Amino acid sequence: MQYSRELTHHQLMDELNELQINHEELNISYIGESVFSKPIPLVTLGDRSAQKSVLYVSTHHANENVCTSVMLNFIKDYLEAYERYGQMYQINTRYLYKMRKIYIVLMLNPDGVEYRLNGIREDNPIKDRIINYNGSADFSKWSANGRGVDLNHNYNAYFEEYKEIEKELGITSGSAKYSGEYAESEPEVSALANFIRLHMDEIEGVMTFHTQGEEIYYKSREKSLPKAEYVSRLIAKITGYKQAESKGTGEYGGLTDWLIKEYGKPSFTIECGKGENPLPTSQITDIYLRLKEILFTFPILF
Ligand SMILES: [Zn+2]
């Protein structure tokens, strides 16, 4: 069975628990909690003693949640291949498990996803403010977190410069692209940034999944790492997506920028799928099939 629908946080937890029952080597933990106290799950694939790891992060933006289901499809295929001593793209999955850890944050923004799929609850303490930010009670295109911050503008990369741009562009609290009061002000971003700092020595590369555009971002402004040039070309070759350079507001406060600028880590923003966010769930399988090979091979590129 493939995952082909969008999941709320609650449904995601059910699916992970179900996988856990059937696959004892699946390791589920939590990096922290969202604004409204939803635990943010982290799946680890790979042996505890593996020296190197990579990180995949999905669903910073609530209206890009199809990527969560793409990650679940990968996790399921990985576990099944491992159990049958299988090969994936000429990689022995037992070898992969022993040599590399793959950390996966499937849904960084569970509160935003909740707004989108179930609307806002009556007992939400900031309900009126959020409806006001959104402009209506129709949350089907909501992108920010539970209190209206764009999580992929809340990292400490050119943050102060972006504050000036926000003023010029009239981006205010609650709009898409609003970066928050200060860098890492949001618990979701702070949890992920802390996790990354703690595992900085072992994390060799990061892919973060968004929609849409079929593009790969791998530079932070002019700064490009030689390894990232090579890997981004490979991602482009495998997926058919195009290498791209950030422009405009995309240059500020994102996870990829922060990792490249602060730590010199090869990091890639993958914009999956085509159309307008939120992408239809009918694209989940196509996106997964485009990404599947790179999801399995990325860890051994480092
Ligand atoms: Zn996005």
Structural domains of the chain sorted by starting position, each given as residue range(s) with its CATH number in brackets? 9-301 (3.40.630.10)
Residues 158-164 have a mean pLDDT of 94
- pLDDT level of residue 249 (50, 70, 90 thresholds): confident
- pLDDT level of residue 94 (50, 70, 90 thresholds): very high
174, pLDDT greater than 90: no
Q: What's the confidence (pLDDT) of residue 4?
A: 95
175, pLDDT greater than 90: no
Q: What's the confidence (pLDDT) of residue 224?
A: 79
Choice among 9-23, 199-213, 248-262, 281-295 with the minimum mean pLDDT: 248-262
Distance 11 CA to ligand 1 centre (A): 21
Residues 195-203 have a mean pLDDT of 97
Residue 100: what are its φ and ψ, rounded to 5°? -135, 140
**76 sits in which H/E element:** helix 66-83
Distance 275 CA to ligand 1 centre (A): 13
90: region left, alpha or beta (phi > 0 left; psi from -120 to 50 alpha): left
Q: What's the confidence (pLDDT) of residue 127?
A: 96
- pLDDT level of residue 176 (50, 70, 90 thresholds): confident
Residues 88-110 have a mean pLDDT of 98
Distance 110 CA to ligand 1 centre (A): 14
For the chain, what is the mean pLDDT?
A: 96
Choice among 68-77, 139-148, 216-225 with the minimum mean pLDDT: 216-225
Distance 76 CA to ligand 1 centre (A): 24
Residues 192-205 have a mean pLDDT of 98
Looking at per-residue pLDDT, the higher value among 172 and 5 belongs to 5
How much of the chain exceeds pLDDT 70, in percent?
Answer: 99
Distance 211 CA to ligand 1 centre (A): 6
Q: What's the confidence (pLDDT) of residue 81?
A: 98
Q: pTM here?
A: 0.98
Give the strands of the sheet with 52-58, arranged side by side.
27-33, 39-45, 100-105, 52-58, 203-211, 267-272, 215-217, 242-244
- pLDDT level of residue 35 (50, 70, 90 thresholds): very high
Dist. CA 201–CA 275, nearest whole Å: 38
Which one, of 33, 30, 50, lies nearest residue 102 by Cα?
50
Tell me the sheet residues that pair with 92: 87
Distance 60 CA to ligand 1 centre (A): 6
Dist. CA 227–CA 230, nearest whole Å: 5
